[in-house]
């Protein structure tokens, strides 16, 4: 079933512009199309923010370090349409370009990534369309991340509309590597020297080792035998009850000793 609103045909809109049609209407129709993705993106961000805030206030550990989002620029959509051979219609764009709305979640540990993924995708109104686990199976260049393509409902004035949102979940080390790789490819316009490519691949391995080591330390910390928080608070109170020399001298000066 095609859920694309009637009249949202990019080919028709382009033809209208070429024939001197109403440019305002063209912009309005494209804005309506993009707004659905922004609303879907905001919906996913809200779900993740609720999880993060609950962990922050009611649990000892918070698996979510950062949440960011981005909406693909119209110019980037057109460029990708050209590369993928996408037909000039909104229905075709919806089917072939699945990363128009993107959300990124950064966690401290790989286990946190898995935990957040399960909690987001386990919600009743979230439909998992596709999962690509580049943590378990990294890309040849060393890229590691967990990608989930999810569908969420957006409730508009004319009824609910399903929207695809790409969610990327990764550790801080993975995010640092991906950010550096992006900057390098942007600077060299994809013509990256082989020495830098080799260095990136080596750095990806180093980041993976770091993630594994930090996960090991995290596991040991969680299973370590420590004093309950209430007992620690009592010990701090006991220490506060022991007067220091300054306190005793002030009492003596006041004539109480």
Catalytic residue positions? 166
Residues 226 and 233: their CA atoms lie apart, in Å, by: 13
Residues 237 and 60: their CA atoms lie apart, in Å, by: 22
Contacts (Cβ under 8 Å, ≥6 apart) of 44: 69, 101, 103, 120, 150, 152, 165, 167
Count Cβ atoms below 10 Å from residue 197 Cβ, excluding itself: 15
Provide the token pair at 67.
Answer: 């949440």
Put the strands of the sheet holding 159-171 in their side by side order.
64-71, 101-107, 159-171, 146-156, 127-133
Contacts (Cβ under 8 Å, ≥6 apart) of 178: 143, 145, 170
Provide the token pair at 237.
Answer: 């109170």
């Amino acid at each position: 079933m095609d859920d694309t609103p009637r009249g949202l045909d990019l080919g028709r809109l382009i033809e209208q512009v070429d024939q001197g049609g109403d440019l305002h209407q063209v912009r309005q129709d494209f804005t309506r199309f993009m707004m659905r993705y922004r609303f879907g993106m905001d919906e996913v961000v809200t779900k993740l923010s609720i999880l993060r805030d609950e962990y922050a206030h009611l649990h000892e550990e918070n698996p979510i370090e950062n949440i960011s989002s981005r909406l693909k620029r119209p110019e980037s959509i057109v460029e990708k349409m050209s590369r993928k051979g996408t037909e000039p219609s909104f229905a075709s764009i919806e089917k072939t370009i699945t990363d128009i709305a993107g959300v990124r979640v950064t966690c401290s540990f790989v286990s946190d990534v898995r935990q957040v993924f399960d909690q987001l995708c386990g919600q009743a109104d979230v439909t998992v369309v596709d999962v690509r686990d580049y943590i378990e199976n990294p890309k040849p260049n060393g890229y590691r991340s967990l990608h989930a393509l999810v569908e969420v409902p957006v409730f508009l004035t004319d009824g609910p509309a399903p929207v695809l949102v790409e969610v990327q979940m990764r550790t801080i080390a993975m995010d640092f590597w991906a950010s550096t790789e992006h900057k390098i490819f942007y600077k060299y316009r994809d013509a990256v020297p082989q020495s830098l490519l080799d260095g990136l691949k080596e750095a990806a391995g180093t980041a993976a080792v770091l993630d594994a080591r930090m996960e090991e330390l995290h596991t040991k910390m969680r299973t370590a035998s420590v004093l309950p928080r209430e007992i620690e608070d009592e010990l701090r109170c006991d220490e506060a009850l022991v007067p220091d020399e300054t306190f005793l001298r002030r009492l003596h000066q006041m004539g109480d000793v």
